[in-house]
Every structure is written in C-alpha cells, then in structure tokens.
Amino acid sequence: MDDPNTLDAVGLLCPLPVLKARKRLMALAPGDTLTILADDPAAVVDVPHFCVEAGHTLISADTDSTVHRYTIRKG
C-alpha cells in the first residue's frame, strides 16, 4: 500500500508533480507532512511557489541528487 505521506513523482513533468501534491495534501490534516520525490528540473521552482501560493510550509528541499526530495507541512 502507498504511504499517504510520500508522493513518488519521479518521471512526471511540470505541472504534474505539483498537481499530484495538491491532491495528496487535500487528504491530509493540517500540520501533516508530505514528502515529494521528483526529478523534473522545474520542480525546484514549482514546489516552493506552490507552497507559498497554497499556504503550506516547505520544510526542506534536497536538490543535490538526480531525484529531488521536498518535504511540505500542510497549512
């Protein structure tokens, strides 16, 4: 079974990682965290922008490898 707090968006291109993150966050309670795994280069800009626009907090962004890991706290 999939972990509801992890979204594997590897192989998906903009805007799919953010759209899938938005849908996954809707099912979580405020304060819960979601970890997104993505390899789309646009995610470096898209994920932080999404967090600001949607009222979520970007806790961390590990972009040092091919697959980036973003952790978001639902607002």
Cα–Cα distance between 46 and 32 in angstroms, integer?
Answer: 20
Q: Where are the beta strands (DSSP E) in 15-62?
A: 33-38, 57-62
| Active site (annotated) includes residue 51 | no
Catalytic residue among 10, 12, 14, 61, which? 14
Catalytic residue positions, numbered: 14
